Amino acid sequence: MLSRAVALTRHRFPPSISSSISGFLSSTRSFSSFPDHTVVGMPSLSPTMTSGVVSRWNFAPGDSFIAGDSLAEVQTDKASIDFESTDDGVMGLQFVEEGVEVQCGEPICITLEEGEEFNAGDFEGYVADASKATPAPNASPLPDPPAPPAAPTPATPQEQSQQSQAQAQHQQRQQVSSSGERVIASPLAKTIARENEVNLGLIHGLGPGGRILAEDVREFIAQDPTAVGSVHNVQGHSPPPSPTSVVGPPTIGENSTDFPTSFDDRQVAANLLDSKRNVPHYYLTVDVSVDALISMRETLNANASDGEAGVSVNDLIIKAAGKAMEAVPSVNSSWLESVVRQYDNVDINVVSSNGHSPCIRDVNNIGVSEISRMASSKADFGTGTFSIVNLGSYGIKSAACIIRRPQSAILSLGAIEERIVPSEQEGVLYKKSDMLTATLSCDHRTIDGAIGAQWLQAFKHVVEKPVTLLL
């Protein structure tokens, strides 16, 4: 009944492993006094996986499902797994409650054939047989990324015809996207599209009724790698926030306490580990005076209308970062393997103390008051083109944060503190000034040292001379 289980990361299992999983999930039929059914067990999907947690059941007992539906979400030691069905069927008994850990190979549910009616009374006294849900072989190491394409050769007439057909299909997909029609896709397809920032409206679904399946998204990305990040080209589109999974209670030991991690925790951890391993980071640091910026803030808030919320120093810094992007646009980019994509709009994720990262859209085209409103509303948690982390409230002097892929840079700000600095006034050697330390983490593949330094100097110039924000 079930056929695919795919991790919600950028990685994919090789065909050999996918076949093994399919063979496991299509477990043997049970012939007994009970109605015919299929036992579904917890598979081992990685060399280190010994157990999994059903974080969410998407169907209740008796519910019918169709091909492409995700029956359940499972947390492993590395990622979250969606169980997608390629056949129609009916959900039967569920042996595992949400949030409960199950050893690999142990039964988690049974399913019935399409059109069959599930009656819990027919399975009274039923005990799942783990032998009918033998786990699949452990997953082998992930394959190396594909080699870059060879230099193009003159196309034959047949190839030219195929290219013309592909272009026609691409144009058709664009027409579907612009038509405003509702896009129907499976949960796993939506997840993969969100992770790769692919516009689902550009994809032609091959599932029942035109439903977009996970394989359709993967094939689309493989055929057109430049489609990654296309979600930025859709006006007003924001990827939905990741779901919050069920987390069990802490386990108190003799000398320690174990706190279970959630789906969000593991997804963030996986993304950060992937970025730290695969992105060549380097760091640039500069000290910035905020005397003029604080003075401007006081002036703006003193002249604000009654009832109007004032702007913060952080709001002005966000605007300054957008202004610096206009001076050095190369920093507002993403490494997409075959191309470096430079964005026209500056969309900034502002990392808050609770770990959430609301996205301020079009920072380069809106005013400070609008930035303040959007930052306080926290309505958009999509992926931006740049990130800012302000740790000043914790008294941190400086930090070097990990880049959020597919972004190419992140700005880390420390606490504002009064320091003695050289004076520019004639006859005065030193003065007191409010200073902060700004550190820019850069992806060396898209931003070399000179470009990163230019951007940081442009940012410093705008902050220290905030009147330029009006230009």
What are the structural domains of the chain? Answer: 2-133 (2.40.50.100), 174-233 (4.10.320.10), 279-470 (3.30.559.10)
Q: Which of 36, 258, 344, 448 is catalytic?
A: 448
Mean pLDDT of 189-194: 74
Mean pLDDT of 311-323: 93
Give the range among 236-245, 336-345, 357-366, 416-425 with minimum mean pLDDT: 236-245
Distances from the Cα of 327 to the Cαs of 52, 370, 439, in angstroms? 49, 22, 18
Distances from the Cα of 170 to the Cαs of 21, 166, 178, 368, in angstroms? 33, 6, 13, 39
The pLDDT of residue 271: 81
Residue 19: pLDDT over 60: no
Give the range among 33-37, 97-101, 218-222, 419-423 with minimum mean pLDDT: 218-222
Distances from the Cα of 73 to the Cαs of 5, 19, 56, 83, 246, in angstroms? 10, 20, 5, 7, 11
Q: Which of 170, 237, 281, 444 is catalytic?
A: 444
pLDDT-derived band at 138 (thresholds 50, 70, 90) equals very low
The pLDDT of residue 77: 63
pLDDT-derived band at 225 (thresholds 50, 70, 90) equals low
pLDDT-derived band at 153 (thresholds 50, 70, 90) equals low
Give the range among 87-101, 181-195, 343-357, 394-408 with minimum mean pLDDT: 181-195
Asked if 197 contacts 218 with a C-beta cutoff of 8 angstroms, the reply is no
Asked if 406 contacts 336 with a C-beta cutoff of 8 angstroms, the reply is yes
The pLDDT of residue 220: 79
Residues sharing a CB contact under 8 Å with residue 413, sequence separation 6 or more, in sequence order: 317, 388, 389, 390, 391, 392, 436, 437, 438, 439
Assess whether 448 carries a catalytic annotation. Answer: yes
Strand segments, DSSP code E, in 328-429 are 333-335, 340-342, 348-351, 359-360, 386-390, 409-413, 417-422
Assess whether 63 carries a catalytic annotation. Answer: no
How many degrees, rounded to 5, is the angle at CA 66 between CA 61 and CA 70? Answer: 70
The pLDDT of residue 228: 66
Residue 144: pLDDT over 70: no
The pTM (predicted TM-score) of the whole model is: 0.52
The pLDDT of residue 178: 35
Terminal-residue alpha carbon distance, the chain: 63
Mean pLDDT of 41-67: 79
Mean pLDDT of 160-174: 46
Higher pLDDT, 15 or 60: 60
Higher pLDDT, 356 or 397: 397
Residue 109: pLDDT over 80: yes
pLDDT-derived band at 171 (thresholds 50, 70, 90) equals very low
Both tokens of 95, joined, read 């042996």
Higher pLDDT, 377 or 9: 377
pLDDT above 70 covers what percent of the chain? 70
**Among all chains, which residue has been given the structure tokens 């779901």?**
243
The pLDDT of residue 202: 74
**Among all chains, which residue has been given the structure tokens 């579904």?**
40
pLDDT-derived band at 415 (thresholds 50, 70, 90) equals very high
Q: How far apart are CA 65 and CA 2, in angstroms?
A: 11
Amino acid type, 221: I
3-state secondary structure of 162: helix
Average pLDDT, rounded, for the chain: 76
Give the range among 154-158, 257-261, 267-271, 335-339 with minimum mean pLDDT: 154-158
3-state secondary structure of 443: strand
